[in-house]
Amino acid sequence: MRRSPFLLTAGILAFFRVFVLGIAAVSLGMGDYGGVSSALLRIFQLYNLLFVYIVILQYFKPGAREFL
């Protein structure tokens, strides 16, 4: 089964977006008593982590099965 290179590119960009959103959230004062904006950035960051995890499963799990 051939996998789309666009999906891999989207996964890599989402992985970098996690760090960009983390830096933005920290610069906006994300902490224990952060505001609404930092909470929204945190939600988007967790969504991007889930997307990256799904892409990693798509690309590396079939290869790991063939290797084993």
The encoded tokens of residue 51 equal 């997307």
* pLDDT at position 46 over 60: yes
**Banded pLDDT at 49 (limits 50, 70, 90):** confident
**Choice between 53 and 3, residue whose per-residue pLDDT is larger:** 53
Task: Give the phi and the psi of residue 31 in degrees, each rounded to 5.
Answer: -165, -155
The encoded tokens of residue 27 equal 């610069």
The encoded tokens of residue 68 equal 């084993």
DSSP state letters, 47-63: HHHHHHHHHHHHHHHHH
Question: What are the domain boundaries of the chain?
Answer: 5-67
Q: What is the pLDDT of residue 28?
A: 67
Q: What is the pLDDT of residue 31?
A: 59
**pLDDT tens-digit map of 14-36:** 888 877 877 777 776 665 556 66
